[in-house]
Amino acid sequence: MKKNNKKVIQGRWYPIGKKIKKNINAKYHRIKDWKMDPKGYFLIAVDRKKKLIRVGYCKFSKLGNNPLHDMVATIQGKTAIEITNTLIRERFISTLQHAGDMGIELHKAELSLKYGFKYIQDQDLAIKQF
């Protein structure tokens, strides 16, 4: 493979042909684009003493004027990837958007646990600049 060939880049294992047909600018509106997963939602917490990420799986048991939500399962683990894959394997997540969101949130919790950042679900991590 030629090093100066701009139509091919070297990937980690294979050469990759650049046949780009679209360039897309990413965008997301937290209110307009967000959709609730009909299977439920999760509450995430960091347990610093045991060095674990804890997740509560909540389902809607009653909707309407007096809604009722039940936590029906708890999941714990050390990394975002193991918890996210467990949530998918257990079929607690039914949408790709929710799976992506959980990956992001759980990775924030993992970084918080690893580096001592304060973790608040659905908020940016507060990382001190030195």
User: Would residue 124 count as lying in a domain?
Assistant: no
What residues make up the domain containing 44? 23-115
Q: Is residue 103 domain-resident? A: yes
Q: How many distinct structural domains can be found in the chain?
A: 1
pLDDT band at 61 (very low <50, low <70, confident <90, very high): confident
The reply to whether 44 falls in a domain is yes
What's the whole-model pTM score? 0.81
For the segment 10-36, the average pLDDT, to the nearest whole number, is 88
- The answer, yes or no, to whether residue 129 has pLDDT greater than 70, is no
**Is residue 18 situated within a structural domain?**
no
49 domain residue, yes or no? yes
Mean pLDDT value of segment 29-43: 89
Q: 111: which 2 tokens? A: 């970084």
Task: Give a yes or no: residue 102 inside a domain.
Answer: yes
3-state helix, strand, coil in the chain (%, to 5): 25, 25, 50
Tell me, yes or no, whether 71 lies in a domain.
yes
Cα distances (angstroms) measured from residue 120 to each of 39, 46, 55, 74, 124: 23, 9, 13, 18, 8
For the stretch 69-89, pLDDT in tens is 899 999 999 999 999 999 999
The verdict on residue 97 lying in a domain is yes
